[in-house]
Amino acid sequence: VEGTVSEHDRIFDMIHAEIRDVKVSVDNRIDDFREDMNRRFDDAKEETNRRFGDMNKRFDEMNKRFDETNKRIDSLDGSIDETNKRIAEMDSRLTSRMDSTLKWIVAIQIPTWMMIITMWVTIILRIG
């Protein structure tokens, strides 16, 4: 009986040792997996931060371009306002010139042509 019990104890100890070895092996694999996953997460985090940094740089560049474009638009607005003022001045000058031309036509040309026509009619009537 004693040989059988010690055989059972020995088998039990062997099984227990195997289970312990499997447990240690599984624990080691889990630790390795955790380390690998943490490393991957860290790498992914660094890559994401790098990409965000690149995107921020691009946004900064775009903002600079927008600022430059806004400055150009503002300067164009000023030029357009100045051009509109010049056009308004020219319009008032042309209007005043047209008014003076019309006054000249009314005051001088119409009576002159009426006088010429009247003279010709008078000449034609005296001849005829």
**pLDDT tens track for 32-85:** 999 999 999 999 999 999 999 999 999 999 999 999 999 999 999 989 999 999
Two tokens at 83?
């051009």
φ/ψ of 73, rounded to 5, equals -65, -40
Q: What is the pTM of this model?
A: 0.46
Is pLDDT above 70 for 2? no
**Interatomic CA distance for residues 128 and 125, integer angstroms:** 5
Q: Which residue has the tokens 């447990």?
A: 23
How many other CB atoms sit within 10 Å of the CB of residue 48?
Answer: 10
